[in-house]
Structures are given as structure tokens and as C-alpha cells.
Structure 1
Amino acid sequence: MKKQMTGHPNVLKEINKGLIKTALQKLQTATRVEISAETKISQPTVNLIINELLNENVVVENGIAKSTGGRKATLYSLNTHLSYVASIVLEEREVQFSITDMNGNEADSDFIETDENWTVERIMDIIGKILRRQKDIKALAVGVPGVVSRQGQVSAIPKIECLEGCPLKEKLEEAFGIKVSVCNDINTTAVGYYSDNVKDNKEFACIHMGNTFGAALIIGGRIVLGSGNFAGEVGLMQIDTNLREKEISVRNKSDEQIILDVSKITVNIISLINPSVLAIGGRKLKDGMLEKIRDNCRKVLPIDMMPEFIRIDKERQYYLEGLSTVGFESINSDIKLVRQTNITE
């Protein structure tokens, strides 16, 4: 017997509103029937919520669907100019940002380099200037190369030392009065790639090869964070005979040794979550390495347990897209569902 979702009616309505807005963001334009099919929400409930969203100017009519012989159906889309998201990547010597509308269309973007050491005040000032470039920004998503707690506090961030221990989410929300998400860089890149390329909620793993190694895991359409948001720190994985206190590093290692280290990490990830798709990227991933890593895994794993191996070449693009996805999820609904890719809770 199919289980019915129960709870406070207003809570269920907000959940359904969020699902409908997310579906329209994905489909761009859709009829009420198509929205019902995409969200699995009953037709009467879709009709009721669409009417409310039309009155709120969140959704607009967008023409007539092609006739299939019956009554012509109205197409609906999000009012793309009602809300914008600012996605900001913070790195050691640079800031990159993208401002997008509800359909993911870019309204503004830029790349800012700096020779000065970061301070929290300077970061806040730059973010403020970015937010003033576009009106109606309703959410801000900031990506950092460090660990981010559930409360948005940053740690383990040697590249931007001023943010060590900083409650960045709280500071930004107090300063700018909008919804803020602070996200780990590798997790967010995985969300961006997953949203564009992986279908049907398949298990997915992403490994980043920089000076050290990191990973992101998505199960059932949701990033695995762990109790302290520490999941994916595979640089601390013990792959040698003796315990190490330091992270696995590529420094002073040959390409063959790097391939061996990543192969061991990859075997462990496949053994733990058995992903359908495993993507590897990063500036240390050279031509031919992916194939050698895959071949090493085949030597020790059952062939029918092997995932599809993918190389990610446009990490920064997926990073920004992942931030945009997180930002719009925060706008679409304050109530988080298991199947959403929310990576900050």
C-alpha cells in the first residue's frame, strides 16, 4: 500500500511549492499536467498551487502547448527576473562570481585577482560590492576550499587563513539580510556536475586531484556530509601499512605513485558506496591517468561492480553551477527534502 505523506497542511503546501518551483526551473516551461508528472503531486494540488504562484507573480503564463488533439494547455514558467542568486568562489588569490536568474541564465559575472592577503573585512567588502551589481538578489552561495560546519563555520582552510574558525554564514546573513549558504568546494562541484549529467538519483562519487586529494559522495540525490560535515576527506584515508598523521600528498611523487595512491582511494570508495558513476578531476590529473586508475581498479574489483569512469575538465564551471543550484534551493523552499542536494545541512 502506498504511504501517504502526513503533517501540517501549511508545511505540506510549502514543500509542494518548493517542488513545483524546482520542477519549473528544470523544465523551463511546462503545462500543469507535465508539472504533476515531474513532481508526482496530484493534479488538483498542482492546479491550486499554480494559481497561488500566479497571484504571487512567482510563476507566469508562457504561451500555449502544441495541441495533441484535445483542449490546448497553457504553458507556465518561473518569473525569471523575480529572484537572482549570487554564486561566489573564494580562493587564495582570487574571487570569481556569477549572478543568475531563476532559470540559470547568467546576468553578470567577473573574475577578481588580488595580491593582498585576505582579511574577513576585505572579503565582506568585496561580497557587498558584488551584491550591489544586481537588484533582487535573494540568495548568496559562497564556496570555500575548506571544511564547512552545519552552521556555516569554516575550518581547515590554510589557503584563506583569516576564515579559520569564522562563522561566515552568520556574518554574511547579518550584513546583507538574505539567505546564505557556505559550501565546500569539492562538494559543490560534485553537485554541479551531478545536476547536469547524472540521472535517476544514481550513486555518484567525485575525486579531486590537487596537491592533496578530496572527494564528494552523492547517494540518493543527496550529498553525504557525515555528522561533522567531514565526509569526503579522503586525503586522510589510510592506504599504507603504517598509520599516517599527514594528508596524502602529490608532492615529490612520480606520476606512477600518484596513480597508485588514487587507485587505492578509488577502490575504497567503490567498495564503500558502489557508485554508478565515478568522476575524477583536478589540475594534477594528466592525460592517460584516468584509464590507468580504472585499469588498476579492475584488477581487484568484480567487473560488474565497476562504475562508469568520467573525467571532469570544467571543474570551475560545475563549481559555479553547483553554488547556483544550492542558492536556488534555499529560495524555492525553506523546508529541505531528502532528495534535494542541499549541502549545507
Structure 2
Amino acid sequence: MNISNTRNLRKINQEKIINALINRDACTKNELSILTGLSLGSVNNIVGDLLKSDQVIESGYAKSTGGRPSKHYELNSNYSKNLCLSIFKNSNRIHLVYRVYNLKDEILMENRIAKPKISIEDIYEILDSVLEKVENIKVIGVSIPGIIKDENVISTGIDDFNEINIIQLLKEKYEQKIIFGNDVNTAAIGFYLDQENYEDICLLFQPANHCAGVGIIVNGRMLKGMNNLAGEVQYLPIDLTDNMEILLNSKEGHEELITRYTQSIIAMLNPQVIGICSTIVDDYSNIKENLNNIFNKEELPELIKIHDLIEYIMWGINLLCKDSLKSNLTITKKTII
């Protein structure tokens, strides 16, 4: 085995130890060996390295069973932190929501700002302020509307943001790792994490006055398509009763749009569950009745009303931040990219 492969294997094994500690308050080395499948010798060496780098700390002793009690080790959850920012547009306002998470997903700081218009300076101001106050932020994750292609964000629907390369600007300005995600896709990740019994899910977001977007996860994997166009329902050849702009001006119009989009999702993907977020339609009974007239009852997925899309967005972008630091990604209920 060459040096590069040895280093990579060591990093992977370190991640196994860290992941085991993320899910438990504290472990002995024997327990870590059982949880990770690593030999006790490997665990001893890796824990020693993690103690030196301050990623792991000692936390007392396990209960004695007659012999010398074993030491407990736990994750230093503040060794690495993620700064997550959601740029979210609905109606005529842009919502800037930011949080700092530690390795155990604890929220250390958060705030929400709503403005009719934003500029790149608003983004700088938020990031600079948080970075000045909080140490050990390793990753900055940004969720934004639009299509992300070749590190460019297009069709954001936000004034002036289609004219700049926001990803490049942030990477040039900040030393932290920069992660970007489409807002509906990151929300779909958060929604997926909340659905313990489903592996095939879709999330439909119908804004008040813009075209809808869909996030798709099939068999636990995010479906983005060749050019990240998967879920851009604006391109569907749907037969509507009126012009899109007119339909967006009424509750009945929103119900028609959601029904048509949901019908297309069921016909093409047939997911187990569809989460629907709409600020205009409060009751989905008409939509369900319309779908019952099209599909057999057993063909219909569960429809779940989503009240707070931003919460799911924050969960999703935080997960992408955590996964960006891993060298050997495995798609699980906690890992979707």
C-alpha cells in the first residue's frame, strides 16, 4: 500500500471513530472497536491522534466491572462548526436565515432577517459578523434559489444575483470551505431526514408568485439530473386552464398548479410521500380529491403539509456542510449528496 492510500485509509478510520462518537455521549476504546469494526490497536492509535488534535476529549471513566475502569472518550463537538445561511425568496421579501451548528447539530447562534432587496454586501456583512464572534467555523454552507451549474448560480429570481458569480466571490473572500445548494433540494434533504419510514420522497414548494420547484430523493439519493435541471417543473408541458401569472393570483389557481405538478410527480416518480409547502393554500383537501379522481387510492403517496420550509433547508445545508469534510461518503439516512 502506498503512502497516499495509507493516509486515506487512516482518514476514513478516523471518520468511523468520529461518527461513532457523534451518535453517543461517550465510549470506551473497546466500545469504539465494536461499533466501528476496527481492531483495538487501530482504535488506540486513532484515538491518540484525535486527542492530540483536540477533536476528541477524555470524559471520565466507565463503571468498573471489577478490574481497572476504562476511560471514556467523547467528541469535542465544538472542534468544527458549520455556518449555514439560507437565502430564501417568498412573496416580495427575501429572508436571510443563518445558524451556526457544532458537530452534534446543536445550534450555537441563529438569526432571521427579512428585506425587500439584498446585495452581496448583505451576505458579506452576515458572514463577517458571525466569523468574528465564533471560532472554529470550518465550512460555510449557503442555500439559494436557482439552478447551480458549473459553480454558477442562475435563474435565482433575486435582483442583481444573476449578474454575479456568488460562489466564486465567497471562495475568494473566505478561507473556509464553501458549499452551495439549491433551496428546494436542501429542503428536500431536511424533509427526507424527518421521514424515517421512507426512502423515496419528493418536496414541492409553490411560492406565492413564482414558479414551483421540486426536490427529489430516490432510494436515498438526491436526483439532480445532468445539468441540475431535475425538479424544475417550469419546463413541464402541463395543460393549464389559464396563464401562469393569472393562476398565481388566486388560491384556486395555486390549487390547480399544485394538483398538476403533484400529478406529474406521481406519474413519473411514484414516490412514497410528497411534502407540499404553499403559503397560499392552507387546506389540501381539494387537491387530494382531484388526485383521487385521477389515480387509484393505493397509487397515491402520502401528502404532507410543510409549514416551515426554512427549518428543513437549514437541516439540509448543515448535512451537506458536514458531509463535505468526509473523504469516504456513504449514502445513509444522514448522508445525501
TM-score range, shorter chain: 0.7 to 0.9
Alignment of 1:163-202 (within 5 A): 163-164=161-162, 166-195=164-193, 197-199=194-196, 202=199
> 1:42 and 1:203 mapped to 2: Cα distance?
30
- 2:213–2:232 CA contact under 8 A, matched in 1: yes
Number of the residue aligned with 1:330: 324
Aligned length: 325
* Cα deviations by residue, 1:287-331 (Å, 9 ceiling, x for unpaired): x21x33334333333433332221111212222222222212223
> 2:10 and 2:18 mapped to 1: Cα distance?
12
* Cα deviations by residue, 1:203-236 (Å, 9 ceiling, x for unpaired): 1111112132111011232221111112111232
Number of the residue aligned with 2:39: 44
Number of the residue aligned with 1:216: 215
Please tell me the residue identity of whatever aligns with 2:259: S
1:312 is aligned, of 301, 306, 311, to 306
Distance 1:101 1:228, change over 3 A: same
Q: Secondary structure at the match of 1:111?
A: strand
Q: Secondary structure at the match of 2:141?
A: strand
Number of the residue aligned with 2:102: 101
> 2:223 and 2:205 mapped to 1: Cα distance?
16
> 1:12 and 1:302 mapped to 2: Cα distance?
51
Number of the residue aligned with 2:256: 260
* Cα deviations by residue, 1:25-72 (Å, 9 ceiling, x for unpaired): 34455566776777xx42428735445433432123445667999997
Number of the residue aligned with 1:134: 134
Please tell me the residue identity of whatever aligns with 1:42: G
> 2:244 and 2:229 mapped to 1: Cα distance?
14
TM-score by length of 1: 0.79
* Cα deviations by residue, 1:239-268 (Å, 9 ceiling, x for unpaired): 2189x9x9687423442x432332222122
> 1:185 and 1:33 mapped to 2: Cα distance?
42
- 2:220–2:336 CA contact under 8 A, matched in 1: no
Number of the residue aligned with 2:281: 285
Distance 1:312 1:93, change over 3 A: closer
Alignment of 1:25-36 (within 5 A): 25-29=22-26
> 1:129 and 1:123 mapped to 2: Cα distance?
10
Distance 1:313 1:249, change over 3 A: farther
Cα offset, 1:137, TM superposition:
0.8
Number of the residue aligned with 2:14: 17
Q: Which moved more, 1:118-127 or 1:213-222?
A: 118-127
* Structure 1 unmatched ranges of 5 or more: 1-6
Identity %: 24
Cα offset, 1:131, TM superposition:
2.0
Cα offset, 1:153, TM superposition:
1.5
> 1:279 and 1:172 mapped to 2: Cα distance?
32
> 1:88 and 1:188 mapped to 2: Cα distance?
11
Alignment of 1:234-249 (within 5 A): 234-240=233-239
- 2:329–2:335 CA contact under 8 A, matched in 1: no
Please tell me the residue identity of whatever aligns with 1:11: N
Larger Rg: 2
Q: Which moved more, 1:123-132 or 1:60-69?
A: 60-69
> 1:260 and 1:20 mapped to 2: Cα distance?
50
* Structure 2 unmatched ranges of 5 or more: none
Number of the residue aligned with 1:60: 57
Q: Secondary structure at the match of 1:259?
A: helix
> 1:152 and 1:299 mapped to 2: Cα distance?
43
Please, what is the CA RMSD of the aligned residues?
A: 3.4
1:275 is aligned to 2:277: no
Cα offset, 1:155, TM superposition:
0.5
Distance 1:334 1:75, change over 3 A: same
Structure scoring higher RCO (CA < 8 A, sep ≥ 6) equals: 1
